[in-house]
Amino acid sequence: MPNSESSWSKSHPAERRTLATKTKSFAVENYDLGATLSSGQAFRWQPLGQAWEGVIGERWVRLRLAKRGITAEAPSPTNDWAWLEKYLDTRFDLGQAISTFPEDEPMQNAVATLPGLRLLRQDYWECLASFILSATKQIVQIQQMVALLAERYGKPIASVGDSPAFAFPTIERIAACSEAELRDCKLGFRAPNLLGAARDILDGNIAWQQLPEMTSADARGELMKLRGVGQKIADCVLLFAGGHQEVFPVDVWIERALQRLFFPKRKPTAKRLRHFADTHFGPHAGLAQQYLFHYARVHLKLK
């Protein structure tokens, strides 16, 4: 039940019977909030004590792990929490998904290492933009670029605490930027790629609006029309924004991890590895990829 900070909304008849609250609890088991929010899927989360603060769309929110789930705190009372439930995907049946993983040793070890790791369901544009920026950058550097973009070109939004919050800049706002302005946000050679993506989308050069209804293969093809977007970035968007569970992004780390874990003797070609990734991990291959990625970073001395 909602807590003591709740109040009745009287503004609209439709909301009259709904309790508007600043905090909300989601009942969910086996959700490693910290691992999920800091895993490199999303780049807008900051740990603050036991809590995590971030921005989803045009809403600031503070999250923390509770006894039987996750507690969220908003800047002002609201009765609409569907956006957060969708983003965290709290209704996702993690156990069922994990049960579809292959039973080989590397996969089972990876799951055992970080059992509550999950996939977020992000906004297409922010996800696409973030991964265009991710090229040869570490997570902290991506976070820095995203934060700069938001501060300078994002809409100010209400938050709790001393510092203001900013939404991720819209496609229109980024498209209106100059390349120099974007380079000034430390984007480097990624600046023209981000700018080009925004302008191509606005110009209708890809089927942007239809993306959510398209098959993985078709949506991937559309995204890869954008300069600076290859299969890896396209697959990240399909998985993290589109919810295409079977998509398995292959980057340099995963490539090394697959080689070490599954082909320790010989060195398969990139194409062979790609085929293995596409056929071995089943309907939730994207989730499997996340487990393997983190397992590899923690337990393998890669390089």
Binding mask of the shown chain, residues 267 to 296, with x at each position contacting DNA by CB under 7 A: --xxx------------------x--x---
Shortest distance (Å) from residue 71 CB to DNA: 25
Site for DNA in 179-198 (CB under 7 A): 183, 186, 188-189
**Residue among 76, 99, 138, 279 that touches DNA (CB under 7 A):** 138
122 lines the binding site for DNA (CB under 7 A): no
40 in Cβ contact with 143 (< 8 Å):
no
48 lines the binding site for DNA (CB under 7 A): no
Shortest distance (Å) from residue 86 CB to DNA: 20
129 in Cβ contact with 170 (< 8 Å):
no
Site for DNA in 202-231 (CB under 7 A): 224, 226-231
Shortest distance (Å) from residue 53 CB to DNA: 20
**Residue among 17, 266, 301, 303 that touches DNA (CB under 7 A):** 303
**Residue among 56, 234, 285, 287 that touches DNA (CB under 7 A):** 234
Cβ distance to DNA smaller for residue 35 or 214: 35
Burial 6-15, CB ≥16 within 10 A → b, else e: beebeeeeee
What amino acid occupies position 271?
A: K
**Residue among 6, 75, 251, 282 that touches DNA (CB under 7 A):** 251
Q: Which of 194, 197, 160 is nearest to 180 (CA)?
A: 194
Structure tokens given for 170: 């819209």
Cβ distance to DNA smaller for residue 114 or 157: 114
199, β-bridge pairs: none
Applying CB under 7 A, the site for DNA has a residue count of: 34
55 in Cβ contact with 167 (< 8 Å):
yes
Cβ distance to DNA smaller for residue 36 or 159: 36
Range in contact with DNA (rule: CB under 7 A) among 4-12, 17-25, 69-77, 138-146? 138-146
41 lines the binding site for DNA (CB under 7 A): yes
d(CA 25, CA 227): 42
301 lines the binding site for DNA (CB under 7 A): no
**Residue among 48, 139, 158, 217 that touches DNA (CB under 7 A):** 139
Shortest distance (Å) from residue 189 CB to DNA: 4
Cβ distance to DNA smaller for residue 245 or 290: 290
Give me the residues that bind DNA (CB under 7 A), please.
39-41, 134-139, 141, 183, 186, 188-189, 224, 226-234, 251-254, 269-271, 290, 293, 303
